[in-house]
Amino acid sequence: MDATQRLVDELRIHALVIGEVVLTSGATAQYYVDAKRAILRPPGFAALGEIVAGHAAGWGATAVGGLTMGADPVACAALAGGFDGKAFFVRKDAKQHGLQRRIEGPLLEPGDRCVIVEDVVTTGGSTLQAIEAVQEAGLEIVGVVSVLDRLAGGGAAIEAAAGAPYVACATIDDIHPDRPDRG
């Protein structure tokens, strides 16, 4: 079984929660995907690492990261999956003490080629914040990877903002094909 199928299976078994929830975007949904329940288990983490490391290598990336908290396990999985580069985390706001950085981790330098990562994309808001921070730092974005796309329009917004390819490791159709809101 390939890494994508292993990840889809892990998401279906461990991350899909059926029941009414309010999403970060404020919208109400009849299901929730808590990707961390799947990707912070050894099989999901290993599959995700293989997938993200593969995309990063294919795009010639030197760094992988995104907005903390959703991006943290994804970036770490890429390193564990063999990505030979840096991982970084983008804070929602710059720290007000210490080095007062917004982008944490090894220093990113001009010439670094960044892959932005995220766990779940609905509207793309968190990913767009990370894209903006990385662009403001003067860094190149070569691609964006999410663990799961809820297919609610975020992917198109992300690709437009990044000016680079966007790939979802899985979509809601893969893990919940019989959902009530499927068009």
In angstroms, rounded to a whole number, what is the distance separating the alpha carbons of residues 145 and 168?
6
Q: In angstroms, rounded to a whole number, what is the distance separating the alpha carbons of residues 127 and 130?
A: 5
Helices (H), the chain: 3-10, 36-39, 42-58, 72-80, 125-136, 154-162, 172-175
126 labeled part of a ligand binding site: yes
Q: Strand, coil or helix: what is 139?
A: coil
Q: Is 9 annotated as a binding residue?
A: no
Beta strand 140-149 pairing with 86-90: unpaired
Q: How many helices (H) and strands (E) does the chain have?
A: 7, 8
* 123 annotated as a binding-site residue: yes
Q: Is 146 annotated as a binding residue?
A: no
Say if residue 91 carries a ligand binding annotation: yes
Contact of 140 with 114, CB cutoff 8 Å: yes
Answer yes or no: is 179 a known binding residue. Answer: no
Instruction: Judge whether 112 is annotated as a binding position.
Output: no
On whether 122 is known to bind a ligand per the annotation, the reply is yes
Does the annotation place 124 within a ligand binding site?
yes
DSSP annotation of 107 reads: P
What residues are designated binding site for orotate? 122, 150
What residues are designated binding site for 5-phospho-alpha-D-ribose 1-diphosphate? 91-92, 95, 97, 118-126
What residues are designated binding site? 91-92, 95, 97, 118-126, 150
